[in-house]
Structure 1
Amino acid sequence: MANTDNLEDKKLLCVGLICLDVIHVCNSYPFEGTDQRIKKMTWQKGGNAANTSAVLGLLGNKVDFLGVFPKDTKDLFQKSACSFVRQEMERCGVGLEQMSLVGDSDLPYSSVVINDETGSRTILHCPGLLREVSFNFFQKLDLSAYSWIHFEGRNTEEVVKMICHVVKYNEGQDEANRVKMSVELEKPHRRNLPLLLPHADLVLISQEYARDSGYNNAPDTVKAFKDHVKSSAGIVCAWGELGAASGVSGAVGDVIMTPAFSPERALDTLGAGDTFLGALLHARLRTTNLPSIVKFACKVAGRKVGSYGYECLRDFSQTVE
C-alpha cells in the first residue's frame, strides 16, 4: 500500500553528527610498528546522520541535515575540512540551511583504515571540541516543512526534548500532516537511548547495540524491542552478511528475516549501516510494507559495500517493490 505522507510537498530532516572521514585504503590491515604503503588516501564527509541524509539525497529525496557545524574557524585544517564537507553534502543534494553554526567548535574527524582484502573498516575518531545540537535550536524549526524527521541516537537528553516537541506539534495536526519520526540505537555506551523509543514510528537497532543488550541474533532483538515501542511502529535490526530482521509492534505474525544482497566482492563497508538506514527511510516514504522496505534497503546497502564511497548510489535504478 502506498504511503502519501506529503512526499511531493515536504522534506525529510536528519539530526545528528557531521564530520570528516580521512580514508586510507590498504592492501591488508597494518601490523603495529610497521611501515606500509597504502593504495590511496581520500577525504569523505562522515557522521551517521550526515551520511544517511546524503544517501537520501542521492536516491532522489528532498532532505535537510541538522547538526552542529563550526562557525568562522581560523584553523587552516578545519577551514579546509569544513569547506570540503559542505561541498560534498551539497553535491549529494542535501540542504544545509538548518545547520547550527557554533563558534568555539571543531568539525570532528575520523582516520579510517579500509582493508582492501576484506572491505572491513577500522575507525579512529577525534571529536575535538564537539558540540551537540541543542533543543533550543531545534525548536526554532518550521516543522510544517517536514514529513519525516530522523534522530541519530546521541545527546539523549536533548533529543528526547526534540521528540516531545514534535509530539506536541502533531497533536494539533490531522493525520496527513503529522511528522513521522525514526530513531537509531547504535552505540551501547550512549546513555539512556531507550528513552528515544516510545514515540518513534521506525526504530533501527544496530548489531553492536543488540549484542550489548544480550541478544545474539537479529530476530530475537526485534522480538524483544517490540515491547518497548508504540503500537504499529516498525523495528529493524541489521546483522551484516546475514541480512536484517523486521517486525511491527502489535501486528499479528512472526518477525521476518530478510537476506542480505552481498556483492561479489566487499570493497568498502564504511557507511554501510548509514546507507541501509537511508534506503530504509526512502522506501518507507513509498510503502508501509515493512518486508519490502527492508528488502530494498538490503539491496542498496549491498550495492554500496561493493563499491568505494557513495557515488554508486546516484544511478541506483531499482524501485521499492
Structure 2
Amino acid sequence: MTLVAIGACYLDTILTICRRRGGNCPNTLEVLGQLLQYGPSSAESSLNLITVLPSKTSVASQQIQASLGNKVRLDSCIYREIFSEPASSYIITSQATGSRTIVNYNELPEMTCAEFATAVESLLAVTGRPWFHFEGRAPDVTLECIRYLREHFLGTEISVEVEKPGRPGLQELADAADVVIYSKGWAQSNGYTSAEDCLRDQSLKTSRASLLCCTWGHEGAAAFEPKTGNFAHVPAHIEEGGVIDTIGAGDTFNAGLLYGLIYRGQDWGFRKRLEFANLIAGLKVTREGFSDLQRALDVPSY
C-alpha cells in the first residue's frame, strides 16, 4: 500500500529562552568568587565590581546582586537612579556551527572617568590597593581611567581584555596595561594566524606588559612574557560530554588567569597559571552558566 501525504513543509528555527545575568567582568567575578571559597580566606580577598546599573532599589539591580552572591561587592557601582532597566543582550546561538549573533540594548548613560575616580577613591578608603581588570568596552574612557590610576596610584597592577574585532582604541589599551588578554576574534581581525603569531608581534607594541595571553578556541591558549621571553602553549581542555554552552568561556579563562596571578602568585609559575585558566574554561563549556567551576581546584596538581 502506498501512502501519499499532502501538507505544508517548513524549516523550523527553535528558540530556547534562558535569562541570566551576563557581562564579561561580572562573569569573571562570579567564577573568582567560587574559586576563593577554596583559596585564600575572605579576609585576604575582596571582589568588587564597578559598572553602571539602574536604580539601586530596582528589581534588576537586586537580581544582579543576588546572582553574584555574597563574595562580590557592588558598593562601588554607579547607579542611575532615574532608570529601572539594566543593559540587556539577546544572544542567538547556532547549534550547527556554534556561531553567535548578539543584539545589545542599553539606555543607561556610560560611565565617565570622573565617576570612575570617585568610585575608586571611595573603594580605596576601605580596602587595600587592588588589581584593576578592565573589559575594554569603551576604549576612550577606559584609557582615561587607566591614566588616572597611573597618575594617582603608582604601582597599581592593571589587566585589560582585548576582545571585540574592529573596536577602535584597543591597541592603545593594550599598550597601557601590565597584563593583556587577546581573543581569537580580535587577533584574526588584525591579520594574525595563530595565538603565538599574535603574542610575539604584540610584544613589540606593548611597552609595559609583563604578560600577554591569547585564547584560540579549540586550539587552546598561549602566553608570552616579553621581559623574559618565556612562551607557552596549552591545548584545549576537552571534558566528557562535549560542548554545551560557550557563552562566557573567555570570561572564565580570565578568572582562572587572574586567580593564578593575584591569589596563587607565590606558588604557581608562568605555565601553571595558563594551564589552570585553560582547564577551568574547558570545564565551563560543558555546562550552562557558571555553576560548580571551583571543582577545577580538585585536580590533584592544583
Which residue of the other structure, out of 208, 215, 221, is the alignment partner of 1:238? Answer: 215
Moved more, 275-284 or 49-58: 49-58
Q: CA deviation at 1:225?
A: 0.7
Cα distance in 2 between the residues matched to 1:145 and 1:71: 28
Match of 1:70 among 54, 58, 61: 54
Q: Cα distance, 1:145 vs. partner? A: 3.1
Within the candidate set 90, 101, 110, 2:89 is matched to: 110
The aligned residue for residue 279 of structure 2 is: 299
1:169 alignment counterpart: 152
Amino acid at match of 2:66: Q
Alignment of 1:212-231 (within 5 A): 212-231=189-208
User: Is the contact made by 2:90 and 2:102 (CA closer than 8 Å) also made in structure 1?
Assistant: yes
> SS where residue 301 of structure 1 aligns?
helix
Partner of 1:27: none
User: For residue 313 of structure 1, what is the aligned residue in structure 2?
Assistant: 293
Of 96-105 and 267-276, deviating more is 96-105
Q: CA deviation at 1:35?
A: 4.4
Secondary structure of 2:133's counterpart equals strand
Partner AA of 1:162 in structure 2: C
Give the partner amino acid of 1:111.
Answer: Y
**Residue 128 (structure 2) pairs with residue 145 (structure 1):** yes
- CA RMSD, Structure 1 to Structure 2 (Å): 2.4
Residue ranges of structure 2 left out of the alignment (5+ in a row):
1-9, 37-44
Higher relative contact order (CA 8 A, sep 6+): 1
Q: Deviations over 1:129-169 (max 9, x none)?
A: 14322111111223463330101112112111111111123
1:90 corresponding residue in structure 2:
69
Equivalent position to 2:251, from 274, 288, 301: 274
2:103 is aligned to 125
**Which deviations, in whole Å up to 9, do the C-alpha atoms of 1:57-100 show, x marking residues without a partner?**
12115311111001279xxxxx5444322310235x21111110
Residue in structure 2 matching 1:206, options 166, 177, 183: 183
Whole-angstrom CA distance in 2 between matches of 1:196 and 1:209: 13
On the 8 A contact 1:231/1:250 being kept in 2, the answer is no
Aligned residue number for residue 197 of structure 1 = 174
In the aligned structure 2, how far is the partner of 1:293 from the partner of 1:129?
A: 38
Classify 1:218/1:165 alpha carbon distance in 2 versus 1 (closer, same or farther; 3 Å). same
Q: Secondary structure at the match of 2:130?
A: strand
> How far, CA to CA, are the matches of 2:222 and 2:193 in structure 1?
12
Q: For residue 222 of structure 1, report the CA deviation from its aligned partner.
A: 0.4
Identical amino acids, percent of aligned pairs: 27
Q: Name the structure with the higher strand share.
A: 1
Whole-Å Cα distance in 2 between the matches of residues 135 and 48 of structure 1?
A: 20
Are the equivalent residues in 1 in contact too, given 2:279–2:296 (CA < 8 A)?
Answer: no
Q: Is the 8 A contact 2:179 2:212 kept in 1?
A: yes
2:112 counterpart of 1:134? yes
- Give the conservation status (yes or no) of the 8 Å contact 2:177–2:208: no
Unaligned stretches of 5+ in structure 1? 1-32, 74-78, 172-177
| TM-fit CA distance, 1:112 | 2.6
Q: Which residue of 1 aligns with 2:142?
A: 159
> Does the aligned pair in 2 maintain the 1:247–1:290 contact within 8 Å?
no
- Please report how far the alpha carbon of residue 243 of structure 1 lies from its aligned counterpart in structure 2 after TM superposition: 0.7
List, as ranges, runs of 4+ consecutive aligned residues in structure 1 with deviation greater than 6 Å: none
Matched residue, 1:45: 21
Aligned partner of residue 98 in structure 1, secondary structure = coil
Partners of 1:37 and 1:187 lie apart in 2 by 28
* 2: CA distance, partners of 1:36 / 1:148: 44
Q: Distance in 2 between matches of 1:224 and 1:290?
A: 20
If each structure's helix is expressed as a fraction of its own residues, which one has the higher value? 2
Q: Does the 8 Å contact 1:49/1:65 carry over to 2? A: yes
The answer as to whether partners of 2:157 and 2:178 remain within 8 angstroms in 1 is yes
Find the residue that maps to 1:139 and give its secondary structure.
helix
Q: Per the alignment, do residues 80 and 113 of structure 1 end up closer, same or farther by CA in structure 2, a change over 3 Å counting?
A: farther
Aligned residue pairs, count: 274
| TM-score between both structures, scaled by the size of structure 2 | 0.82
Larger radius of gyration: 2
1:20 corresponding residue in structure 2: none
Matched residues in 2 for 1:252 and 1:82: separation? 45
Cα pair 2:49 2:74 within 8 Å, conserved: yes
User: Structure 1: which amino acid aligns with 2:286?
Assistant: G
Which of 54-63 and 278-287 deviates more? Answer: 54-63
